[in-house]
Amino acid sequence: MRYVKHKQAEMARVAIWLSCVLLLAATCQGLKYGYYSRSCPPAEFIVRAVVGKAVRQNPGIGAGLIRMAFHDCFVQGCDASVLLDPTPANQRPEKLSPPNFPSLRGFEVIDAAKAAVERACPGVVSCADIVQFAGRDASVILSKGRVNYALQSGRFDGRVSLETEALAFLPPPFFNLTELIDSFKVKGLSVDDLVVLSGSHTVGRSHCSSFSDRISTPPSDINPGLATVLKRQCPANPNFTNDPTVVLDVVTPTKLDNQYYKNVLRHQVLFNSDAALLTSRETARKVVQNAFRSRQWEKKFARAMVKMANIEIKTAANGEVRRNCRIVN
């Protein structure tokens, strides 16, 4: 589904100002390792088992869960607000916004993990923690164990979920480098975090509408061979009823690795936001480093995921532990 560009660009500018007011400085307040060691010892094991089964059956779900962890944290902080369903009082939550619908996947895996955890420890484990555990566990599987990290937990679930905030805070695929840097900066993330987390585009799929301008409107820096392949897979004018998906990484589409950066250097990436990483000397240098130092990128990706998982954490004072991840208590 194509973004409404002029509207989102304006909302992004508003978001930069608004974040300066609302941002809670990536605090880890209330989080700790082993948070559930007494209240629900098997919590992480249960989530890992559910995620493992789903991702081994469909690796694309793993990519969706990694993306979900990112999309949740960039709107209202890491509080599972992306999971909330529409209600009569709020008919347009985050999950129905263009950045998330219909492309975001993995909701049913979070539901299954939550149900399993609730059977073991009712009312204890937050949906927000499950989302971050699931993103971590999917990373482990898709990287064949090379990306792994411990996560602090103790996040509380939010009660607010608005389509407009998803439009304002989630960087779209047409952003240029300045816009990307600004959108990460207001969430307490650095230029290096931007480049490192962009590497998640080595797994998953994209709707044709998210990059159709790059293969239909010359000039474009996209590799001509890739453009030809994409034109065969995508309609000339994608719309809601005719918007197929293609793999983000044509080389290793189901493996979380540093192939993405090699694709950037070869101009074999789909989004303007990917190609934008070559438009400054600083980010281009980081792309080259990540392309040729796979182990270093894996470690940096793990650190960046941990840092992202600490954005604007809610506590018992402004959050809750939902019984059902789709609705507030």
Determine whether 6 is an active site residue: no
pLDDT at residue 220, rounded to an integer:
82
Q: Is this structure's pTM higher than 0.85?
A: yes
Summarize the confidence of residues 319-323 as an average pLDDT: 98
Summarize the confidence of residues 90-113 as an average pLDDT: 97
192 is in an annotated binding site: no
Contact call for residues 33 and 152 (beta carbons, < 8 A): yes
pLDDT at residue 30, rounded to an integer:
80
**Rounded Cα–Cα distance for residues 329 and 310 (Å):** 23
- State pLDDT tens for residues 137-195: 999 999 999 999 999 999 999 999 999 999 999 999 999 999 999 999 999 999 999 99
Query: Rounded mean pLDDT of the chain?
Result: 92
Contact call for residues 185 and 242 (beta carbons, < 8 A): no
- State pLDDT tens for residues 66-85: 999 999 999 999 999 999 99
> What's the CA angle centered on 217, arms 216 and 220, to 5 degrees?
105
202 is in an annotated binding site: yes
Is the pLDDT reported for residue 317 higher than 90? yes
Sorted by where each starts, the structural domains of the chain and their CATH numbers stand as: 32-169 (1.10.520.10), 177-308 (1.10.420.10)
Looking at the DSSP assignment, which residues form a beta bridge with residue 320?
A: 157
Summarize the confidence of residues 199-216 as an average pLDDT: 94
pLDDT category of residue 38 using cuts at 50, 70 and 90: very high
- Give first-to-last CA distance, the chain, whole Å: 32
94 is in an annotated binding site: yes
DSSP string, 169-183: HSPPTT--HHHHHHH
Is the pLDDT reported for residue 97 higher than 70? yes
- State pLDDT tens for residues 3-28: 444 444 444 444 443 443 333 333 44
Contact call for residues 230 and 171 (beta carbons, < 8 A): no
Q: How many CA atoms lie within 13 A of 36 on its CB side?
A: 25
DSSP string, 233-298: HS-SS-BTTB--EEES-SSSTT--STHHHHHHHTT--S-HHHHGGGSSHHHHHHHHHHHH-HHHHH
**Rounded Cα–Cα distance for residues 249 and 153 (Å):** 32
